[in-house]
A and B are shown apart, each in its own frame.
Chain A
Amino acid sequence: MGRSVLDGSELSDLQKQIMWNRLLAVVEEQAQVCQRTAFSTIVRESGDLAAGVFDAQGRMLAQAVTGTPGHINSMALAVGHVIDAYPTATMKEGDVFIHNDPWMGTGHLNDISITTPCFYRGKLVGFLACNSHILDIGGLNDLTSSKDVYMEGLYLPILKIADAGEIDESLMAIIRANTRQPVETVGDVYSLINCNAVGCERLVEMMGEFGVTELDALADHIVNTSREAVLEKIRALPRGSWTSDLTLDGISEPIQLKAKLTISDDGIEVDYTGSAPMTKHNFNTPLCYTMAYTSYAIGVAILGDIPNNAGSLEPRRTIAPPGCILNALKPAAVVSRHLMGLMLPDLVFNCLRQALPDRIPAEGAGVLWLLRAVGPWTSPPEIGNLYMVGLVTTGGTGAIAYRDGMSVTGFPSGVRGGPVEIFESMSTIVMWRKELAPDSGGAGTFRGGLGQIMELGNTLDEPFRIGNAFERIKFPARGALGGQDGLAGQVLLSTGESLEIKGLHHVPAGVTVTMRSPGGGGIGDPKKRDRSAVAADVANGYVTASAAREIYGFED
């Protein structure tokens, strides 16, 4: 651009800030390319992906806002694993690395991670990385019955999917052969490769424009500034250690999780020692995923406006003993690791609330209520002619000490609820009812968010199966500071039978299923709730007249 070429060291702080913002635009475009070209519906419609730019040492500099915490914060570590496996000195322009190792990526095989070294003037200047959730990677597809990771599908160690620009067709053929959706899955791999390529192109354009030949100075600026900003926020908090626990439904027995959160000058540490051991079921959680949701919880509660990067993540540390359910070891079954991971913010908040009662919400629904249905397209059924369809539904979030919880909102996943119309058109199921569940939000000065009631049945005179991979059926979201618990979830057949255990359940022909997702916990004494808010809740049908009277002491 007419300017002399700089190695970056002469950049002013102003220039660095501008380039930092530019990097955020680079990764946002990278993520958009992935989302717009993805074949997987959960990527396309719900944004289940992550994309980021890294420096030559593998430190994350910026990440797209699009994405879920489990993907984003674990991706921050993925590039380090790639560098460990393939020294940067051996990397060539046009190389692209692939893996879906749950322990080096995002915790289960369905997420494919792609890492692309980015070269400028023949020199490796950084990495673009991304990952997304593909709908099928082979293996068991009921989401509940795997007993080890080998039952969960194709396991790709860190490998070169492109070598100096040439696609490894053997590897692509293996991916194609090991999924029930070969077109979509291979398409998603190309989509990921391509979004990194676009990111690299934009990064190189930026470097040309600003006349820098390496990112080191910019990287140091981003990482140091962010770390310092996080530490500054942390230093404003009370020091100390707080412990708490959380009991989850599990399958054969409840799962007890424990945490000790310590705030010190150099950061926040969460230690999960004392939590339950690994289970024989499939909701064991690799440490990378535990870290992802722990640092997300801390970030969203305390450090909201600081961008996610290696610097801002560094002061947040997670510890869990090997073999604990939150540091599960290979070959544990991990496909449903989100059943534990998505609950971790509640556990972290149960600690933090003791330190900062005015800023931390009560417990919420946590886990998504991902409805899965499997059934025949025809009556009588034909072998192989089945639909298998998923619908993301959500429960209520916990109240905050100054605001009601949000109803049917996917916290902490950030994954959107899906439209019923698409679900119905992809199955023979009809959704008779999907509405907010009255009285499901925990009562309080500030009320918990509401869950929802859904009633569904088959339009064919055939049985179908419904997958329960839900939480908070036995243990509701607890209220705080005198607020009441949210209503627990429920899955009932019209015959009266309860499907409260996780698993794929049979729904006989002619029988309907009623699901109620859990509500969030309330905060503060319900009797102190603003009377106009109670009146509005009754008018909206959020609270029944009898609950208003009995719990809120409301006389109209």
Chain B
Amino acid sequence: MSRVSQKPSMIELQVMWNRLLAVVEEQAQVCQRTAFSTIVRESGDLAAGVFDGRGRMLAQAVTGTPGHINSMALAVGHVIAAYPIETMKDGDVFIHNDPWMGTGHLNDISLTTPCFYNGKLIGFLACNSHVMDIGGIADRSSSTDVFMEGLYLPILKIVDAGRVNESLMAVIRANTRQPVETVGDVYSLVNCNAVGCERLTEMMDEFGLSDLDDLSNHIIDTSREAVLKNIRALPRGTWHGTLRLDGRDNPIELKAALTISDTGIHVNYAGSAPMTKRNFNVPLCYTLAYTSYALGVALFGEVPNNAGSLEPRTVSAPEGCILNAIKPAAVFSRSQMGLMLPDLVYNCLRQAIPDRIPAENTCGLWGINVMGPWDSPAKIWNRYRVQVMTTGGMGALPFRDGMSATGFPSGVRGGPIEIFEQMSTLVVWKKELRPDSGGAGRYRGGLGQWMEIENTIAEPFDFFAGYERIENPAKGADGGLNGARGELLLTSGRRPGGKESFVVPSGERIIVRSSGGGGIGDPKLRDRSAVIADLESGYISREAAAELYGYVD
């Protein structure tokens, strides 16, 4: 407690760095444990982090999804640009959900809290989470500009020197179908930053720090250097990749050029499709988030995420491109494009380092999103709206099978069917791994799932689809075969579009088959005991074993 003037040693800096990771983890846990939104509570759709006095991210909680985490790294900079630091007071808290300054759509609310120690602003705590309803169109697929997507909060003070802005809170309360939950979530976010700030100042007390400058320089420089060291071990050059997605009215063609140089890795999306009139346009912050996540997870998984480790990963996309959509584009379903970006980045990287990069994945989530009446005959307004997360298969790695029914890259967990059934009148007749959906290969792609859902009451229900990889399967690599396409059909035989909102008539089932991951390597070279195990587990059929794997028992 008496070393204020001394420079901390390297060991002390490392200890404090670890302590910061504990601070943000507690911050995130407070948010998750106090959240009202089910997707935050159950699936951890949030991010939390600590920043230095200049707005550079020092540490972030492991909990969270890449789209939230890596875009949050930039959010504090936007707050500082809107409200100069010298005007900030102890007890101020800033709120916004601007898609272009946050996480890409209005449903994510971001909170930024300047943290004061001995009367001086020493850093920021920031967090964001997904609220279930922010008003606007409720069907997920039909918005054609951002104004249809709900309440738009520019960067504003939700708390001014400790005093909550009740007018602002009243506006939030009035503009959501779930006022209790949404206002509760805002308080949960305000509070988790407050807890983070408390822990941060406790730590400073304990270590006798008056500011975070030395520590933040250490963290940022060390992390940047670690990333650059990893990068310098890679081959230099530029590799091009493409990815064709289903889109809605016509396929969406994405292109990338990935350049590895001494100073970092740059991904340029020039040549990708222009913005669409649909709602899966992607603000650049979200493009950046999933691009840097893809690079991080493939190349420098062990280096913590912070301003230093993110710096050498850069992204460009021309304005007006679907990956750098401009306001007021509709962006609600920006995840339908954004979640696919790791595949595109890997289609480039695989050419440089084929032994480390997986085949294409399902990437997109296969959420089951429904709305229907609680009663038969239906009463206006007495209806449920519920979502359960489900997933498809991952691509095989050159040394391992792909994982089945796993939410890569989102990290969002599949939800339990029991809760879904209890929150609706629907019954899930079937939810099982889908045989032969993993792309055959020496290493097999992960399997998708097969689900069948029907209403228990004699009423239709609404189904809001938002899927990819129905037209364009996850491709195999290096002689491996493609994963199975996703499928969406009614028992009548009708096949609704993958991004359509439609009605499931009374007495009919909706069948959802999520896509599988691509395989790697010639299936004929697959280890025979692995083929046998797949057969026994029902992952592949006897016909597939014979025809694709050349297996005869």
Contacts and interface: CB of A to CB of B under 8 A. Distances in A.
A554 B425 CA distance: 67
A383 B170 contact: no
Interface string B321-339: 0000000110000000000
Contacts of B151: 154, 174, 178
Contacts of A332: 380-381
A151 B380 CA distance: 16
Nearest to A328: B380
Given A150-B136, A383-B275, A138 B167 contact: no
A139 B148 contact: yes
Contacts of B275: 383-384
B92 to A, nearest CB: 13
Interface in B462-492: none
Interface in A157-191: 157, 159-160, 168, 170-171, 173-174, 176-180
Contacts of B154: 173-174, 176-177
Contacts of A136: 147
Contacts of A168: 167
Contact of A174 (B142, B147, B171): B171
B18 to A, nearest CB: 39
Contacts of B145: 180
A280 B157 contact: no
Q: Which of A147, A174, A279 has the most chain B CB within a 10 Å cutoff?
A: A174
A45 interface: no
Nearest to A157: B174
A101 B173 CA distance: 13
B16 interface: no
B135 interface: yes
A114 interface: no
A211 interface: no
Contact of A383 (B153, B277, B380): B277
A385 to B, nearest CB: 11
A77 interface: no
B138 A157 contact: no
A173 B96 CA distance: 12
A150 B177 contact: yes
A160 B170 CA distance: 11
Contacts of A171: 167-168, 171
Contact of B156 (A155, A173, A179, A277): A173
B152 interface: yes
- The prevalent SS among residues of A at the interface is loop
A331 interface: yes
A156 interface: yes
A303 interface: no
A412 B174 CA distance: 32
B153 A177 contact: yes
B321 to A, nearest CB: 12
Interface string B270-288: 0000111100000000000
A148 B177 contact: yes
A150 B138 contact: yes
Nearest to A174: B171
A151 B148 contact: yes
Given A170-B157, A174-B156, A383-B276, A180 B147 contact: yes
A276 B525 CA distance: 70
A159 B174 CA distance: 11
Contact of B174 (A140, A155, A180, A384): A155
Contact of A139 (B147, B165, B277, B381): B147
Contacts of A147: 138
B167 A150 contact: no
B50 to A, nearest CB: 26
Nearest to A171: B167
B138 A180 contact: no
B389 interface: no
A411 to B, nearest CB: 32
A149 to B, nearest CB: 9
B418 to A, nearest CB: 29
Chief secondary structure at chain B's binding surface: loop
B152 A155 contact: no
B380 A157 contact: no
Contacts of B176: 150
Given A139-B148, A280-B380, A174 B168 contact: yes
B175 interface: yes
B157 A151 contact: no
B152 A138 contact: yes
From B138, B165, B275, B380, residue with most partner A Cβ within 10 Å: B380
A22 to B, nearest CB: 36
A383 B274 contact: yes
B274 to A, nearest CB: 7
Contacts of A543: none
Nearest to A149: B135
Contacts of B156: 170, 173-174
B137 interface: yes
Nearest to A277: B380
Nearest to B97: A177
B152 to A, nearest CB: 5
Q: Which has the most chain B C-beta neighbours within 10 Å: A140, A177, A279?
A: A177
Contacts of B133: 150
A221 B328 CA distance: 54
A383 B274 CA distance: 9
A340 interface: no
Interface string A130-142: 0000001011110
B170 A157 contact: yes
A343 B277 CA distance: 36
Contacts of A23: none
A179 B147 contact: yes
B147 A151 contact: no
Contacts of A180: 145, 147, 328
A42 interface: no
Contact of B148 (A140, A157, A383): A140
A141 B148 CA distance: 8
Contacts of A278: 380
Contacts of B171: 154-157, 159, 171, 174
Nearest to A161: B167
Contacts of A331: 177, 381
Nearest to B177: A150
A384 B328 CA distance: 8
Interface in A278-313: 278-280
A156 B165 contact: no
Given A170-B156, A383-B276, A159 B175 contact: no
A176 B156 CA distance: 13
A336 B156 CA distance: 32
B48 to A, nearest CB: 25
Contacts of B138: 147-148, 150-151
A364 B133 CA distance: 42
Given A138-B148, A145-B142, A180-B145, 9 more contacts: A138-B147, A140-B137, A147-B138, A148-B138, A150-B150, A151-B148, A155-B175, A180-B147, A279-B380
17 contacts: A138-B147, A147-B138, A150-B175, A150-B177, A151-B136, A154-B175, A155-B174, A156-B174, A168-B167, A170-B156, A173-B154, A174-B154, A176-B154, A178-B147, A278-B380, A280-B380, A383-B276
Interface of B: 98, 133, 135-138, 142, 145, 147-148, 150-154, 156-157, 165, 167-168, 170-171, 173-177, 274-277, 328-329, 380-381
Interface of A: 101, 136, 138-141, 145, 147-148, 150-151, 153-157, 159-160, 168, 170-171, 173-174, 176-180, 277-280, 331-332, 383-384
User: Would you list the 5 A-B pairs with minimal beta carbon distance, nearest first?
Assistant: A138-B147, A150-B135, A155-B174, A177-B152, A177-B154
